[in-house]
């Protein structure tokens, strides 16, 4: 269990879930017949982005929140966890809505295709793709649970490339004030150059 709550497994599982939601949203989700004076008795197929607008944006936000959770500091991590949960719930609601009422979500899409507002009567069924999208949402939620369980063991982001705290000067070997390596870099001097201007 400890391995599953590490940064790597959590990030991979979350990105996999978000990727599944994103890719399946481009596939046909609903297929059915509509009866309309303009459309006649025609067959209409709608993709996930047609019947669940905003799903792609939520999938991308899921991925971004997961990356933020595994790479940010403690405070930002909590904010990203809340965002992650909200995006997962929103994506799940969009998918479940399609699965529960495929005819209801196809009607407005069919009407929009002929330049009409509202909806037209439709008889439709869901394909396998929204079910796979739901699986992607569940993978993302599982990764979220693992992140919550493991986040206390994760260290914060590395401070290696941040400037030193306090004054820019440090004490030399005899107590004199000399500039730090960070200050040398900021001034355009290479502290590893043995022939730099500080000399011998």
pLDDT at 156: 57
CB neighbours of residue 152 within 10 Å: 8
Contact partners, residue 100, CB within 8 Å, separation at least 6:
none
Q: Read off the pLDDT of residues 129-184 as tens digits, 9 standing for 90 and up.
A: 999 999 999 999 999 999 888 877 776 554 554 555 554 455 555 655 566 677 77
Alpha-carbon gap, residue 143 to 145, rounded angstroms: 5
Alpha-carbon gap, residue 40 to 174, rounded angstroms: 93
Residue 1, pLDDT above cutoff 70:
no
Alpha-carbon gap, residue 87 to 92, rounded angstroms: 8
Alpha-carbon gap, residue 196 to 161, rounded angstroms: 22
Q: What is the DSSP letter of 151?
A: G
| CA-CA-CA-CA torsion sign (76, 93, 20, 147) | positive
Residue 187, pLDDT above cutoff 80:
no
Burial state string for 67-86 with b = 16 or more CB within 10 A and e = fewer than 16: ebbbbbeeeebeebbebbbe
């Amino acid at each position: 269990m400890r391995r599953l709550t590490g940064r790597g497994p959590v990030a991979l599982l979350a990105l996999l879930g978000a990727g599944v939601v994103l890719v399946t949203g481009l596939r046909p989700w609903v297929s059915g017949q509509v009866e309309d004076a303009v459309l006649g008795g025609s067959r209409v197929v709608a993709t996930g982005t047609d019947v669940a607008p905003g799903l792609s944006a939520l999938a991308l936000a899921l991925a971004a929140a997961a990356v933020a959770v595994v790479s940010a500091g403690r405070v930002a991590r909590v904010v990203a966890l809340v965002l992650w949960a909200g995006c997962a719930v929103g994506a799940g609601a969009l998918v479940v809505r399609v699965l529960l009422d495929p005819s209801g979500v196809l009607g407005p899409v069919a009407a929009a295709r002929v330049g009409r507002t509202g909806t037209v009567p439709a008889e439709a069924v869901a394909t396998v793709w929204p079910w796979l999208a739901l699986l992607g949402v569940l993978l993302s939620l599982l990764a979220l649970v693992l992140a919550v369980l493991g986040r206390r063991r994760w260290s914060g982001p590395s401070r290696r490339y941040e400037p030193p705290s306090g004054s820019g000067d440090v004490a030399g070997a005899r107590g004199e004030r000399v500039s730090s390596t960070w200050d040398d870099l900021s001034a355009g001097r290479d502290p590893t150059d043995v022939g730099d201007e500080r000399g011998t």
